[in-house]
A and B are shown apart, each in its own frame.
Chain A
Amino acid sequence: MPGEKPVDLADRRALVHLPGLGGPTGPAYDPRLGDVDEWGRSERVRQQVRRLYDPVYRKLFRVEWEGLEKIPKGPALLVANHAAAIPSDAPVIMHGIEEELGRPIYGLADHFFRQLPVLGTLWSRAGGVVAHPDNAYRLLREQRQLVLVFPEGTKGSSKTYAERYRLRRFGRGGFVEIAMRSGVPVVPIAVVGAEESMPTLTTIPALARLLGLPYFPITANMLLFGPAGLLMYLPAKFKLRVLDPVYFDVPPDQPRYSRSRVMEEAEGIRQRIQEALYDMLSRRQSVWRG
């Protein structure tokens, strides 16, 4: 009967086994061989990627940061504007944060990446995580990490060159709700340069449907370099400005947050990034030299 005597689970271990086998070694013992964490990120792979990517970051894009010190010491949700047919902003931000601050960062993205053979695995080893609210909550609230997300999603990266630096709708403000529930600030980042690194001239929706892609772009890079244009970015000068973190004065772990408040905050963050972009663009002398 429950409660009458303490349960001795050790007793139960004497189940029939091959004789002479090593028994349980306890949960503390872990005979793992690799360093892939629960999110699929591997520090070893990340190091390799950083080594290979560093010339792109320093020589091609000549990245300049402004206000990096505004990123809090604890967990935070970084949000930025999204651009380029094959987005160049995500690797730049992730590389920059890891190099400059020496902290790991996880990038949330559409589950589309996870479906791709080879690339999906690499994406995950390099710190990509499927944008699921549970994943974001666990990373931010329980593991106190830095997480990057692009609220525009593919609406941002699929827009054509004619619409450059005009921010799209920030989804339904899901990122604000996640930050509120996790009790972390949102840190907006304005990125200049990504739009010109791989400008989309037009998209072919019929081909996208056929191939099961979110969009099928025809980029300036493709016209210049042919199929290699899928991998080659134009040497646009990157400038990133970290804006003041937004703290929400609400208790974490609520089942629900006010819809209107969430939308209002999301729109406010979108406007601040938009204004910062206009400010940075008005000061820019040249697309290539900054």
Chain B
Amino acid sequence: MGKRVLVTGLGTFWGGRVAQALERDPDIEVIVGLDTTEPSVELDRTEFVRADENYSILARLVKAARIDTILHTFLVVDSTEVSPRVLHESNVIGTMNLLAAASASGSTVRSLIVKSSTHVYGSNPEDPVWFTEETRRSRPPRTLVESSLLEVEGYLRDFAADRADVSVTVLRFSNVLGPDIVTPLACALELPMVPCIAGYDPRLQFVHEDDVVRSMLFALEHDVPGVFNVAGDGLLPWSEVARMCGKRLFPLPPIGTGLAARALKLARTCDLPPEALEVLRHGRGVDTRQLRRHGFRYDYTSAGAVEHFWQAVRLRETVGEVEPIYRYERDVEAFFRHSPAVVRDEAP
């Protein structure tokens, strides 16, 4: 019997990507995607269900579709995406509802995979160069993203302890770069001059967007409970990253950096959220050996991710946006999936 997977946040970049990858796996029997917004990528057999932002229909859905695996891709790790209220709502309340659904009586859920972020470690001067999964952060969180992720991970820890029959995998991703993903740091690198904090040249770690998706699928296939850092090899000084992209640095003042970042935002250049500014001051490195020990291999190093990202930017600058624009039409999707008129290949 194949797996029956629920993907949260189907309308987001990650949800769409993960669902696309899952569709290619014949071992996955059913893919249900949940989100408040329609999917933005073309999907063959994923069923889209619209939910409100705190996922109140989850318990019914999990029961009805006999979901055995939940891929929770919808933790917001970038505070520029949503308002503070929505961030709390979807991270904390959304996850609580998810856990309630997974532990309801008669629940068939056996595996839960969560996409978290290395923001849970913060970025402080006292930090070690490499954080392992067990290292505690040096100072209490100051930004909303960090505190909400810490709260969520706390619930997940309790859940994993209470429910020995459910395997809980938390993947903490470092700064993501790649051809398609838009992040505050990617946005900064696309500016004519790359903002930095004057006097600081932090060392950063990157992970390629493909490695992010691959690691989630790896967790799904190999059943690896626990918490894992996911990041490419190597730490790069921010100045070197800018140099790899052929850019000069634009120093922001070290005092009042937040105000300067606001000015950049108002000038409609780039929105650098507080959690990104922290990383641009002291950097962050995470030890990735734990997941490697289970057999996961990366396609890209930190520098490889930067290079691939920059190749894509160069191409876009020349030929423009080449991805087809996809629009979700409920009736059309329903026709292709369920109408008896459509000739479908027999499932293997």
Answer whether residue A227 sits at the interface, using C-beta atoms and an 8 A cutoff.
no
Q: In chain B, residues 291-313, which have Cβ atoms closer than 8 Å to a Cβ of chain A? A: 297-301, 303-304, 306-308, 311-312
Interface segment out of the listed B58-66, B89-97, B120-128? B120-128
Contact B200 A120 (CB under 8 A): yes
> What does the 1/0 interface line of A1-35 toward B look like (CB < 8 Å)?
11000010101111111111110111101111110
Contact B125 A16 (CB under 8 A): no
Main secondary structure of the interface of A (DSSP, over half): loop
With known contacts A18-B312, A27-B298, A13–B210 Cβ distance under 8 A: yes
State how many angstroms separate the Cβ of B318 from the closest Cβ of chain A: 11
Q: Give Cα distance in the complex from A46 to B210, angstroms.
A: 37
With CB as the reference atom, state the residue of chain A lying closest to B27.
Answer: A1
Contact A30 B304 (CB under 8 A): yes
Contact B179 A17 (CB under 8 A): yes
Q: Give Cα distance in the complex from A114 to B179, angstroms.
A: 33
State how many angstroms separate the Cβ of B306 from the closest Cβ of chain A: 8
Answer whether residue A70 sits at the interface, using C-beta atoms and an 8 A cutoff.
no
Q: Give Cα distance in the complex from A214 to B132, angstroms.
A: 29
Neighbouring A residues of B213 by C-beta, 8 Å: 12, 15
State how many angstroms separate the Cβ of B261 from the closest Cβ of chain A: 17
Contact A135 B129 (CB under 8 A): yes
With known contacts A18-B179, A27-B233, A121-B201, A130–B126 Cβ distance under 8 A: yes
Neighbouring A residues of B239 by C-beta, 8 Å: 34
Answer whether residue B243 sits at the interface, using C-beta atoms and an 8 A cutoff.
yes
Contact A135 B41 (CB under 8 A): no
Per a CB cutoff under 8 Å, which of A27, A31, A36, A40 touches B299? A27
Answer whether residue A115 sits at the interface, using C-beta atoms and an 8 A cutoff.
yes
Answer whether residue B119 sits at the interface, using C-beta atoms and an 8 A cutoff.
no
Contact B129 A130 (CB under 8 A): yes
Q: Give Cα distance in the complex from A17 to B124, angstroms.
A: 36
Contact B234 A31 (CB under 8 A): no
Answer whether residue A167 sits at the interface, using C-beta atoms and an 8 A cutoff.
no
Q: In chain B, residues 185-220, which have Cβ atoms closer than 8 Å to a Cβ of chain A? A: 197-201, 203, 208, 210, 213-214, 217-218
Contact A32 B236 (CB under 8 A): yes
With known contacts A39-B129, A132-B126, A15–B17 Cβ distance under 8 A: yes
Q: Give Cα distance in the complex from A116 to B243, angstroms.
A: 23
Neighbouring A residues of B218 by C-beta, 8 Å: 7, 9
Q: Give Cα distance in the complex from A20 to B179, angstroms.
A: 12
Answer whether residue B130 sits at the interface, using C-beta atoms and an 8 A cutoff.
yes
Contact A9 B297 (CB under 8 A): yes
State how many angstroms separate the Cβ of B174 from the closest Cβ of chain A: 14
Per a CB cutoff under 8 Å, which of B126, B244, B323 touches A111? B126
Contact A129 B129 (CB under 8 A): yes
Q: Give Cα distance in the complex from A117 to B253, angstroms.
A: 10
Q: Give Cα distance in the complex from A13 to B213, angstroms.
A: 9
Contact A114 B125 (CB under 8 A): yes
Interface residue tally for chain B (C-beta within 8 Å)? 59
Answer whether residue A261 sits at the interface, using C-beta atoms and an 8 A cutoff.
no
Answer whether residue A172 sits at the interface, using C-beta atoms and an 8 A cutoff.
no
Q: Give Cα distance in the complex from A33 to B237, angstroms.
A: 10
Per a CB cutoff under 8 Å, which of B200, B243, B299, B323 touches A33? B243
Contact A30 B303 (CB under 8 A): yes
Neighbouring B residues of A129 by C-beta, 8 Å: 129
Q: Give Cα distance in the complex from A21 to B128, angstroms.
A: 36
State how many angstroms separate the Cβ of B55 from the closest Cβ of chain A: 26
Answer whether residue A213 sits at the interface, using C-beta atoms and an 8 A cutoff.
no
State how many angstroms separate the Cβ of A180 from the closest Cβ of chain B: 19
Q: Give Cα distance in the complex from A13 to B199, angstroms.
A: 40
Answer whether residue A100 sits at the interface, using C-beta atoms and an 8 A cutoff.
no
Answer whether residue B15 sits at the interface, using C-beta atoms and an 8 A cutoff.
no
Neighbouring A residues of B27 by C-beta, 8 Å: 1
Q: In chain A, residues 227-263, which have Cβ atoms closer than 8 Å to a Cβ of chain B? A: none
Q: Give Cα distance in the complex from A36 to B303, angstroms.
A: 13
Contact A31 B129 (CB under 8 A): no
Contact B316 A117 (CB under 8 A): no
With known contacts A9-B214, A34-B243, A130-B129, A19–B300 Cβ distance under 8 A: no
Q: Give Cα distance in the complex from A239 to B203, angstroms.
A: 37
Answer whether residue A38 sits at the interface, using C-beta atoms and an 8 A cutoff.
yes
Q: Give Cα distance in the complex from A259 to B54, angstroms.
A: 50
Q: In chain B, residues 1-37, which have Cβ atoms closer than 8 Å to a Cβ of chain A? A: 17, 20-21, 24, 27
10 extra A-B contacts, CB within 8 A, seeds A21-B312, A24-B299, A121-B200: A1-B27, A7-B222, A9-B214, A18-B312, A29-B304, A117-B199, A120-B200, A129-B129, A130-B128, A135-B128
> Which chain B residues have a beta carbon within 8 Å of chain A's beta carbons?
17, 20-21, 24, 27, 41, 125-130, 132, 135, 179-180, 197-201, 203, 208, 210, 213-214, 217-218, 221-223, 233-237, 239-240, 243-244, 254, 282, 285, 297-301, 303-304, 306-308, 311-312, 315-316, 322-323
Residue pairs across A and B with Cβ atoms less than 8 A apart, 5 shown, are A9-B297, A15-B210, A16-B20, A21-B315, A38-B234
> Which chain A residues have a beta carbon within 8 Å of chain B's beta carbons?
1-2, 7, 9, 11-22, 24-27, 29-34, 36, 38-40, 111-112, 114-118, 120-121, 129-130, 132-135, 138
